Amino acid sequence: MTPPPTLGAQLLNGLAAGLLLISFAMLSQRRTRRLIGLFAWQGAILCASTGLVAYTAGLRHLWFSAALTLLLKVLVLPWILLGLVRRLEAQWDTEPLINIPTTMLLGVGLVIFAFGLAQPISVLATTITRNTLGIALAVIFLAFLMMITRRKAVTQVIGFLAMENGLFFAATSATYGMPMVVELGIALDVLVGVLILGIFFFQIREQFESLDLHHLETLKED
């Protein structure tokens, strides 16, 4: 018999559920600005859950990564993305490749798959957060699905960042976070990546007068 979960663990499960819910909301959201808002919320929940783990486990370096999450994923990245959307006037996403209800059903399937995959592993985890590994994997898969089904460059990037959020959540939930050096390196890579993409959006727009990626389908084997 496993002991009844503590308050901290219950709170954490609640936050994890919130994270999953937001992933589904992102999957169904077609307005780019709202999508960025949802991404910021996802970051906020991530920050709260990291803080909670840091508090219950008494780990100092996790406070740092919570602060890093707050700074990078709740403030800086959404701000950069909103600025980009405003300057590029890309408020609306086009019709996704698969319609939204089908996407949601696919998403549910992926969540079940993720839980199945994570089940044998979470049994081995000793952290208070072990139940959440399945959710982390589900968030990663859902973000992946979003990248596949959307056509706009900005939306694909938000999907990419949401996937990174899922990875980060996996790291805290399975192992109490990676060592600081690695986390800093990852944060730096993400930030630089988004900056490069910012430059990139302008180049794409300059060439194609649109951010719709169906223009980018000419390189094929002929």
Partner 1 sequence: MELLLVLGIPLLGALLLALVGHRRQAPEVNVLMSLSTLVAAAFLVVRVIRHGPMLVWQEQFFIDPFNVFLVALTALVGLTTALFSRPYMRIEEHKGRLTPRRLRLYHSMYQLFMAAMLLALLTNNMGLLWVAMEAATLSTVLLVSLYRTRASLEAAWKYFILCGVGIAQALFGTILLYFAAEGLLGTEGMAALLWTHLNSIKGQLEPRVIGLAFVFLLVGYGTKVGLAPLHNWLPDAHAEGPTPVSAVLSGLLLNVALYAVIRCKVLVEGSIHLVPGRMLMIFGLLSALLAAFFLWRQKDIKRLFAYSSIEHMGIITFAFGMGGPVANFAALLHMTVHSLTKSAIFFAAGHASQTAGTQRMDGIRGLVGLSPTIGWGLMLGTLAILGIPPFGVFASEFLILTTAMRDHPWATPVLLTALAVAFAAIFGRVQPMVFGETHGRPLPHSPALLPVFAHLVMVLILGLYMPPALAEWYRLAARLIG
Residues of this chain that bind partner 1 (CB under 8 A): 117, 120-121, 124-126, 137, 140, 144, 147, 153, 156, 160, 163-164, 167, 170-171, 174-176, 178-179, 181-182, 185-186, 188-189, 192-193, 196-197, 199-200, 203-204, 206-208, 213, 215-219, 221-222
What's the closest the beta carbon of residue 119 comes to partner 1, in angstroms? 10
Alpha-carbon torsion, ordered 156, 161, 167, 170, to 10 deg = -110
- By beta-carbon proximity to partner 1, the closer residue of 45 and 183 is 183
User: CB 219 → partner 1: shortest distance, Å?
Assistant: 5
- Using alpha carbons, list the distances in angstroms from residue 68 to 74, 183, 184: 9, 9, 9
Q: How far is the CB of 207 from partner 1 (least distance, A)?
A: 5
Which residue, 6 or 119, has its beta carbon nearer to partner 1?
A: 119
* Shorter beta-carbon distance to partner 1: residue 4 or 220: 220
Q: How far is the CB of 174 from partner 1 (least distance, A)?
A: 5
Query: Could you identify the residue written with the tokens 């008494």?
Result: 58
DSSP assignments along 21-36, one per residue: HHHHHHHH--BHHHHH
The structure tokens 């973000």 sit at 143
Q: How far is the CB of 83 from partner 1 (least distance, A)?
A: 20
- Residue among 158, 145, 168, 17 nearest 90 (CA): 158
How many CA within 13 A on the CB side of residue 175? 9
Question: Which token pair is 220?
Answer: 């094929």
Other beta carbons within 10 Å of 59: 16
| Residues 6 or more apart whose Cβ sits within 8 Å of residue 202 | 88
Nearer to partner 1, 55 or 200 (CB): 200
Neighbours of 106 (CB within 10 A): 17
Measure CA 120 to chain center.
24
Name the residue nearer to partner 1 (CB basis): 101 or 196: 196
Minimum Å distance from CB 30 to partner 1? 20
Question: 4 or 27, CB closer to partner 1?
Answer: 27
